[in-house]
Amino acid sequence: MKNRRKTLLSWVAITLVTLALIATSGFSQGNAPQLVGSWKAAVTATSPPGLTPFTDLVTFTSDGTVIESRRLLATPTPFGNLLETTGHGAWHRTGAGQFDVHFLFVLQNATTGAEVGTDNVHLSLTLDSTGSILSGTFESTVKDTSGNPLFTANGTYVAAPI
């Protein structure tokens, strides 16, 4: 009887501690700024100079997938007028409010339709404490159909939730 009571009290204590941890964890995560969702961004190249800034739409899913859309016609580019598909990739948290994002687009010549290669984008982003500004830098590397780098641009990325 004494052992049974000790076992029961142990299980009750474990259950209470577990419930307290779950409740605390849910509360803190529920009130923390979230990356998951859709954002509208301003993308501005700083290197090389002269590239046209553009608006970007990006959605971060809870499973770490990212889907990015921008203007379909990219012009002017060092490769002439290009058409781009929607970008697909992945994101992960690197620290408190810090995120690493990678995605790519398939590129084709807007006149001939010939495949040019891919635009491989890397974002290093920080989410502010209110969850209303996502900012950081980008690196975009265009690669040919064999995966050889042809061109790289760098710049700033600033987004707000949609």
Is 42 within 8 Å of 137 (Cβ atoms)? no
Model pLDDT for residues 66-77, shown as the tens digit of each residue: 999 998 998 878
Look at residue 3 and tell me whether its pLDDT is greater than 70: no
CB atoms within 10 A of CB 8: 10
pLDDT score, position 80: 87
Model pLDDT for residues 84-104, shown as the tens digit of each residue: 999 999 999 999 999 999 999
Beta strand residue intervals within the chain, DSSP E: 37-47, 54-60, 65-70, 73-74, 82-84, 87-95, 98-109, 115-127, 134-144, 149-161
CB atoms within 10 A of CB 31: 9
pLDDT score, position 31: 41
Look at residue 10 and tell me whether its pLDDT is greater than 50: no
pLDDT score, position 4: 57
| pLDDT (average), residues 124-139 | 96
Look at residue 27 and tell me whether its pLDDT is greater than 60: no
Measure the CA–CA gap between 108 and 37, rounded to whole angstroms. 29
pLDDT score, position 76: 76
Is 155 within 8 Å of 49 (Cβ atoms)? no
